[in-house]
């Protein structure tokens, strides 16, 4: 599709609203699927009519999701919106996975109290290489259109960028919560940050989007796309915001920088163990936002737990479903067996192996050199706390000298190493 310059907008013209016909059962079902787990659908009546039009015409809706490749890996928090895209894809609509290789050079200011550090072109290209491959673990790759917003943003040039900027005002930008907070706190706001929502909105113009998805922190940017489409004579897109998934701490949103994430390419047993570590109350939120189970099935699980069923069993089912999705059914079975083995004090199958020299070696130095503790003093504290085992036997002597041989070292519940000491 040819992107249009700001001075030459094109697309489906907005039509005057008329009397809406009754919605068919199929459209009502599609609307219910769209709304499941969503935070907000703007504007619901408009989207219902878009669905009805698609049903009558046989022309699928164009549904857009944009992600900036600011990091090389995706986590389960990203898949909340990807899952919704897949549901809409299964309904027969055309989904567009947009990689924001141009906008990444600015950095999305959403939810930020400081200016994002800019990424180099090399960093962006390296991260972008893995994005769609990972997203394809959720989306049907063969039915997904992949686009890069540099296709239409690079050709804009200075003249086009100035004209695009004329479609908004500083006052409008300052309505944005994160900008207004930074202004009141006397925290610098770079001028280029004002361009980000405009460029994201212009993506919707270039792609002639019917519906754009994003997290709740993207609401301002998504609405900008809607407004720009009106300016360029297009029918405005509807917007669907999805909740931000809390991480393993159950408080902050899932983020690699907060180390509370579950990566979708992590080993199956690590993914399984992390899912099992979430709290029982948080389990239901993960079910609603990540599971393919119906709402009726989730309600039945809740009723079983309230009637006395161990919530651990329900959590196991969730962990197996997620692991099977990103690995395989057999990997989910193996991950459960590994988790049970570890919970009984057993040794996992994927223990790293290494060879060390210097026997006899003090227990503190041994654990440090085996990369199980950051320092020998930390290792000795773990010994004091009863968190160190050799071949399954707890070590309590901080002065222990370990003789040559092969052994399995364990620190805490999850750190293991098979060491040959000479």
**Measured distance CA(422)–CA(417) in Å, rounded:** 15
User: What is the pLDDT, as a whole number, of residue 4?
Assistant: 44
| pLDDT tops 60 at residue 16 | no
Q: How would residue 11 be classed by pLDDT, with cut points 50, 70 and 90? A: very low
Outline where 114-194 has alpha helix (H).
121-135, 150-153, 157-165, 170-174, 177-184
Phi-psi region of 111 (alpha: psi -120 to 50; beta: other; left: phi over 0): left
- 186-190 mean pLDDT: 77
123-127 long-range contacts, Cβ below 8 Å, gap at least 24? Answer: 124/69, 125/101, 126/72, 127/69, 127/70, 127/71, 127/72
Higher pLDDT, 336 or 177: 336
Buried b or exposed e, range 158-191, using 16+ CB within 10 angstroms: eebbeebeebbeeeebeebebbeebeeeeeebee
Q: In the predicted model, what is the mean pLDDT of the chain?
A: 86
Write the class of the CATH domain 25-242.
alpha beta
Q: Tell which wins on pLDDT, 176 or 395.
A: 395
Helical segments of 76-218, H only? 76-90, 121-135, 150-153, 157-165, 170-174, 177-184, 195-207
| CB contact at 8 A, 88 and 240 | no
Tokens 């993914």: give the residue: 271
Lowest mean pLDDT among 9-23, 125-139, 378-392, 398-412: 9-23
Residue 10 has pLDDT above 70, yes or no: no
| pLDDT at residue 397, rounded to an integer | 86
pLDDT tens profile 129-152: 788 888 888 999 999 999 999 999
> What is the pLDDT, as a whole number, of residue 75?
92
The class that CATH gives domain 353-421 is alpha beta
Q: First-to-last CA distance in the chain?
A: 65
Write the class of the CATH domain 268-343: mainly alpha
Mean local confidence (pLDDT), 12-22: 55
Answer whether residue 188 shows pLDDT above 90.
no
**Which range is least confidently modeled, 13-22, 79-88, 117-126, 285-294?**
13-22
d(CA 247, CA 24): 39
What stretch of H or E contains 326?
Answer: helix 311-326
Asked whether residue 1 carries a pLDDT value surpassing 70, the answer given is no
Query: Residues with Cβ < 8 Å from 222, sequence gap 6 or more?
Result: 200, 212, 214, 237, 239, 241
pLDDT of residue 362: 94
Looking at residue 60, its pLDDT comes to 97
Can you give the pLDDT at residue 5? Answer: 46
Mean local confidence (pLDDT), 402-410: 87
Specify the 3-state DSSP secondary structure of 218: helix
Question: Quick one: how many helices (H) and strands (E) in the chain?
Answer: 17, 13
The pLDDT tens digits of the residues spanning 357-400 come to 999 999 999 999 999 999 999 999 888 888 888 877 788 889 99
Summarize pLDDT for 55-98 with one digit per residue, the tens.
999 999 999 999 887 777 789 999 999 999 999 999 999 999 99
Residue 117 has a pLDDT of 64
- Pick from 96, 190, 196, 189: which is nearest to 148 by CA? 96
Q: How confident is the model at residue 290 (pLDDT cuts 50, 70, 90)?
A: very high
Is the model more confident about 341 or about 2?
A: 341
- How many percent of the chain have pLDDT more than 90? 48
The residue extents of the domains of the chain are: 25-242, 268-343, 353-421
């Amino acid at each position: 599709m040819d992107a249009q310059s700001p001075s030459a907008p094109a697309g489906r013209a907005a039509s005057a609203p008329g009397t809406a016909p009754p919605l068919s059962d199929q459209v009502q079902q599609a609307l219910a699927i769209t709304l499941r787990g969503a935070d907000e659908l703007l504007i619901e009546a408009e989207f219902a009519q878009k669905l009805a039009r698609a049903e009558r015409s046989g022309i699928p809706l164009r549904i857009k999701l944009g992600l900036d490749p600011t990091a090389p890996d995706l986590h389960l928090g990203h898949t909340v919106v990807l899952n919704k895209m897949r549901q809409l894809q299964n309904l027969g609509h055309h989904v567009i996975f947009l990689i924001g290789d141009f906008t990444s050079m600015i950095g999305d200011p959403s939810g930020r109290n400081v200016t994002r550090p800019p990424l180099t072109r090399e960093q962006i290209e390296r991260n972008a290489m893995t994005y769609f491959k990972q997203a394809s673990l959720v989306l049907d790759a063969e039915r997904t259109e992949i686009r890069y917003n540099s296709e239409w943003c690079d050709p804009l040039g200075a003249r086009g960028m100035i004209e695009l900027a004329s479609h908004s005002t500083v006052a409008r930008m300052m309505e944005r919560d994160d900008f207004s907070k930074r202004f009141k706190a006397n925290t610098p706001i770079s001028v280029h940050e004002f361009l980000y929502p405009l460029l994201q909105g212009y993506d919707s113009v270039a792609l002639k989007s019917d519906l754009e998805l994003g997290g709740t922190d993207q609401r301002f940017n998504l609405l900008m796309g809607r407004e720009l489409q009106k300016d360029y004579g297009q029918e405005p897109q509807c917007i669907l915001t999805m909740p931000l998934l809390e991480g393993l701490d159950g408080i902050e949103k899932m983020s690699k920088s907060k180390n509370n994430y579950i990566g979708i390419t992590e080993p199956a047993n690590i993914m399984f163990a992390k899912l099992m570590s979430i709290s029982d109350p948080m389990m239901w939120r993960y079910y609603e936002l990540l599971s393919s189970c119906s709402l009726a099935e989730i309600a039945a699980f809740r009723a079983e737990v309230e009637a006395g069923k161990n919530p651990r069993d329900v959590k196991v089912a969730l962990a197996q479903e997620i692991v099977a999705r990103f690995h395989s059914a057999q990997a989910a079975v193996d991950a459960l067996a590994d988790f049970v083995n570890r919970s009984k004090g057993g040794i996992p199958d994927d223990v790293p192996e290494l060879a060390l020299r210097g026997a006899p070696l003090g227990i503190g130095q041994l654990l440090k050199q085996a990369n199980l503790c950051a320092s020998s003093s930390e290792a000795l504290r773990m010994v004091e706390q009863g968190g160190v085992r050799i071949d399954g036997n707890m070590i309590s002597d901080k002065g222990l000298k370990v003789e040559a041989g092969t052994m399995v070292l364990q620190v805490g519940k999850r750190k293991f190493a098979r060491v040959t000491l000479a």
